[in-house]
Structure 1
Amino acid sequence: MRSTTADTTCAALSQALTEPLPGTAAVASAWLCLEQRGPWGHNALLESHLDPGIGAELDRRASAHGVRVQLIRHPGPHPDTSGPRQVLIGHAEPGGWLREKTIDDPAELLDLDFQRIAAGRHDGWGEQASPVLLVCTNGRRDRCCALLGRELIAEISEHHRDAIWETSHTGGHRFAPAAVLLPSGYTYGRLTTHQVDSALAAAAAGKVSLDGLRGRSAWSRSGQAAELAVRHELGESLQDALEVDETEETAESTVVRVRHRDGRDWRVAVRPRELDPPRPNSCGKEAVRPVSLEARIIRP
């Protein structure tokens, strides 16, 4: 096991200490991804060459309805040039969709109805798009994403060129290389080249690869852990086979109902547990005790 020194990266520590992945994905019912070439700062929406007023307003309007805004750019050199840019909007709940459109001015996105997007309505915006993988490479946020994310991008971009984007912070840089599949919102950590191949092949077939899976963004953190517990119990790989409802809170756990589209359902108790030893959850931060979510099926 590696020493927990200040010189050790947060991702190396997380992996060496075998921090569990389930229940660690960002929570978002839908995703808006705006192409923004050039450098990104720590808070990419406000500290890139995107107009910070537009970035702040997009974030405010989208987050009010559970929609997450990301900046994206093509792998490889990304000079800060003006001109048309691509936009992706994906709805992450079962039966969701991914749409794409090229725009001239990011201010056009302020006309979007984020409430309807969060409810699963695209209203004919853009055109249908194939699944994509967003790999976090936001080095100004955390050096693990810069080093490990870009290393992974270099290995996979030629083979998966049309399906890969670099993206700003997605949450959980200690799990770098970290990535999000759209439209499903399934989020991965500690990705290898082989896992990327498996995840994209599964997505194209309407399935989900369980290797390195952290959770589906459409669910709460407890819901993510519960869904993965049922998937592993069944060996279920169909992407939209399961839906999640939180049913009740107890003093020790959250009881989550997981429903299969064939009519079966399960009750899953999800309990938080603090992990030892303390370690930084981001490079350069103070050591803390992370919380993992333990899921136990209590009634099939």
Structure 2
Amino acid sequence: MAGTASPGLVWVLIEYPGAWPPNGFEGLDLDAGTKALVISAAQTANARILLVRRPGPRRLGARRRHGPANWAVLRHQSSGAYQQLWGIWERDEDLAKIASALESPGESGFPPVILVCAHGQHDACCAVRGRPVGRALSERWPELVWECSHIGGDRFAANAVIAPDGVYYGGLDAGSSVTTVEDHLADSIRAEYLRGYTDLLPPQQAAVVAVLERFGPAGRHDYVVTETLREGEYWRIHITGKPPHPAHIDVELRARRTPLRQLTCRAPTEGSVIVYEPTSVRRT
């Protein structure tokens, strides 16, 4: 899983408790002008739009609950600061406020949002494996947890992303998800279920995972990638750490393409992906 977090620093969340089409927000039956405005603003800001809903049973055939629903813009600044803006929508046109929110810096001090992919129309595995994880996490942190639409890496379901921290986890079940999020909220990120950080390139993500495997858990910003070199199929990545972690670490990884296989439950054909295997992790 290491090195498979989807890149991005900005997330748009739109609460929609009804059925989610396979392509998420773009497939919703909403006012066309408003939807186009939100999509354009998100593309300009390099933001990812996710539909969200609270975990729990839903009434079959429901399109949208009566009354207001939430929207949010979550931003991970390059400085490491986390910012959020939240709003309410009842009419489709209310979602136009997202466009202006994407141009605002946001506010700090909010707790992180825990997103669990449960997008069954995109891939059945996400619903089958994701919904039990969403329920388990919501029992512990009911105000922080949302089911969400496709976040990438269906083959690693159950998947979760903590935003705006920008941390992807995969291969979770109900029990491991609670302990993983507990550690994360204590700023002690472990390698076992970590897919990567969304502000890093795939080989850089894999290098950080290798460092956490070698030297133990660390905070989200305790390690910084300071140099990345590629020589053919090999990557050499230098990482600096804050005390008490090692100050300088060199990681070497070999990139290779996997054999053809079915990558997701709904995949019509077999495919392959590039994986990054650490060959050396050493202090320098």
CA distance in 2, matches of 1:27, 1:113: 17
Where 1:110 maps in the other structure, the secondary structure is helix
Residue of structure 2 in register with 1:110 after alignment: 99
Where 1:231 maps in the other structure, the secondary structure is helix
| Percent identity (aligned) | 27
In structure 2, relative to structure 1, the CA distance for the partners of 1:51 and 1:176 (3 Å cut) is farther
One-letter amino acid matched to 2:50:
Q
In structure 2, relative to structure 1, the CA distance for the partners of 1:241 and 1:126 (3 Å cut) is closer
Where 2:254 maps in the other structure, the secondary structure is strand
Residue of structure 1 in register with 2:188 after alignment: 207
Normalised TM-score (structure 2): 0.84
> How far has the Cα of 1:127 moved from its partner?
6.0
Check the 8 A contact 1:180/1:188 in 2, yes or no. Answer: yes
CA distance in 2, matches of 1:184, 1:205: 13
Check the 8 A contact 2:14/2:71 in 1, yes or no. Answer: yes
In structure 2, relative to structure 1, the CA distance for the partners of 1:92 and 1:23 (3 Å cut) is farther
Choose the corresponding residue for 1:58, options 29, 38, 42: 38
In structure 2, relative to structure 1, the CA distance for the partners of 1:62 and 1:246 (3 Å cut) is farther
Choose the corresponding residue for 1:275, options 252, 258, 264: 258
Q: Can you list the C-alpha shifts for 1:18-55, whole angstroms capped at 9, x where unaligned? A: xxx10111111232222223121111121124445444
> How far has the Cα of 1:216 moved from its partner?
0.9
Where 1:199 maps in the other structure, the secondary structure is helix
Choose the corresponding residue for 1:240, options 208, 221, 233: 221
Q: Can you list the C-alpha shifts for 1:48-101, whole angstroms capped at 9, x where unaligned? A: 244454444434433444432212111123740352424141317573314242
Residue of structure 2 in register with 1:297 after alignment: 280
Residue of structure 1 in register with 2:139 after alignment: 158
One-letter amino acid matched to 1:256:
I
In structure 2, relative to structure 1, the CA distance for the partners of 1:282 and 1:224 (3 Å cut) is same
One-letter amino acid matched to 1:38:
G
Q: Can you list the C-alpha shifts for 1:213-263, whole angstroms capped at 9, x where unaligned? A: 111111111111011111111113222101224522212223222221348
Normalised TM-score (structure 1): 0.80
One-letter amino acid matched to 2:144:
A
Check the 8 A contact 1:136/1:149 in 2, yes or no. Answer: yes
One-letter amino acid matched to 2:160:
A
Check the 8 A contact 2:73/2:101 in 1, yes or no. Answer: no
CA distance in 2, matches of 1:91, 1:159: 25
Structure 2 spans left out of the alignment, 5+ residues: none
Where 1:201 maps in the other structure, the secondary structure is helix
In structure 2, relative to structure 1, the CA distance for the partners of 1:161 and 1:268 (3 Å cut) is same
Aligned residues: 271
In structure 2, relative to structure 1, the CA distance for the partners of 1:298 and 1:146 (3 Å cut) is closer
In structure 2, relative to structure 1, the CA distance for the partners of 1:210 and 1:299 (3 Å cut) is closer
One-letter amino acid matched to 1:45:
F
Check the 8 A contact 2:189/2:220 in 1, yes or no. Answer: yes
